[in-house]
Amino acid sequence: MAFISKDFRSPGEAWVKTDVGWERLKVLECGGKRKRHNSEGSSYQVVASDSQEVEEEGSSMPPHYHITIRCTREIAGFNGLSEAVKRLDFQRSVRDRKRFHYICAFLLLVSNKGIASLPGSAQRQLLQMVEEVASHVNDSQQHPNVLRGLALQLEQIVNQENQKCWGKPLGSTYLWKEHMATIKRIQRVASQIEIREPDPKAKPKLHELPEECVREIILCIADHRDLESAAKAWDTMAKLVSEQRIWRELTRFHFNQRQIHTILDLDKFKQMGEIKDWKQIYHQLRRTYGVNDDYQFAEVLALCRSCCCLFWPSDGHPCIVDQSPDYKQRLEEAGGQQALSQPVPPAQFLSYFSL
């Protein structure tokens, strides 16, 4: 059967002039409103073959992106990183505290692979995201170490690119001038950021809280390195971090019962008897099985198995399941729409693209 594609006589894509350049309307419809270039009135101009105009207050869909998992004889799909980042609204998600660490982990993975091999639009988009991270860190006074890590990685990329082609980066000279200006702004923010002390009149202070409250705060920490750093900051925290309950809960958070029992069956842990050193057990489990880094993310991208769509679980997505009432009823009986979705860590997300 012949594959029927879009008619070549169709009016084509609708394009919108934004503050960062021209963008397709269907990309802007995902992820809410953005700043549009406006020179005359309250509506932005959409350039298409029929010169139509679309009002800015139009309906917008939740951020989502349909991907091609594997190519077939009928479908030869291509996943574009730049379009995926825009349609999933990564740049605005930087200021969402649930998605911040996921976005930063994605940026670190991309920078490790090298951004010079990406298309120019993807390079510009990724650097704009890093600049948004710098702005967010400067405003929120949180996670400066993440920003410094990204700035250091960008500096290494520039040094590597300057050694490739007679001391100059390989690619468009104008584009790299723009990149260098963006990188300098990011590095300037990273070098000048200072954590401001809280208002001295603010009450209560951390050291004024009872031990029960401080213990509950420590129990929310999911990284053993943060626990060790907290123990060095304050004597009360050091005493609480040394409690067996803290390390027992951390162990149960990262590892299942089968893994824990496997380690407890070892001879050196059998000799402990009923009194166990959970800190030692945790580190033995960490060396044996490793720690799942996905637990550091409050929200992870999800992949719908029904329509091969990437989306944020808190926002949902327009699924093909909604078009079939019978299938939707069977899906609800099976446990809802999330039952047919799987989490997508940053490394798996990058595997869908040719980098």
Q: pLDDT at position 306, please?
A: 78
- Residues 6 or more apart whose CB falls under 8 angstroms from that of 48 comprise 11, 12, 13, 14, 15
Tell me what pLDDT residue 231 has.
92
Asked if 61 contacts 318 with a C-beta cutoff of 8 angstroms, the reply is yes
Q: What is the pLDDT of residue 331?
A: 67
Report pTM.
0.72
Per residue in 20-34, pLDDT (tens digit) is 677 777 666 665 544
User: Which residues of the chain are under the pLDDT cut of 70?
Assistant: 1-12, 20, 26-60, 71-77, 165-168, 267-275, 293-295, 320-324, 327-328, 331, 333-339, 355
Q: Which long-range contacts (CB under 8 A, 24 or more apart) does 214-223 make?
A: 214/240, 215/240, 215/243, 215/246, 218/246, 219/246, 219/249, 221/250, 222/250, 222/253, 222/254, 222/295, 222/296, 223/296
Q: Taking a C-beta distance cutoff of 8 angstroms, is the pair 225, 286 a contact?
A: no
pLDDT at 44: 41
Beta-carbon contacts of 4 under 8 Å, excluding residues fewer than 6 positions away, are none
Query: What string of H, E and C letters represents the secondary structure of 135-204?
Result: HHHHHHCCCHHHHHHHHHHHHHHHHHHCCCECCECCCCHHHHHHHHHHHHHHHHHHHHCCCCCCCCCCCC
- Quick one: pLDDT at residue 319? 76
Give the CA distances from residue 117 to residues 12, 26, 78, 180, 282, in Å, rounded to whole numbers and listed in that order: 29, 26, 17, 16, 40
Return the percent helix, strand and coil in the chain, to nearest 5: 50, 10, 40
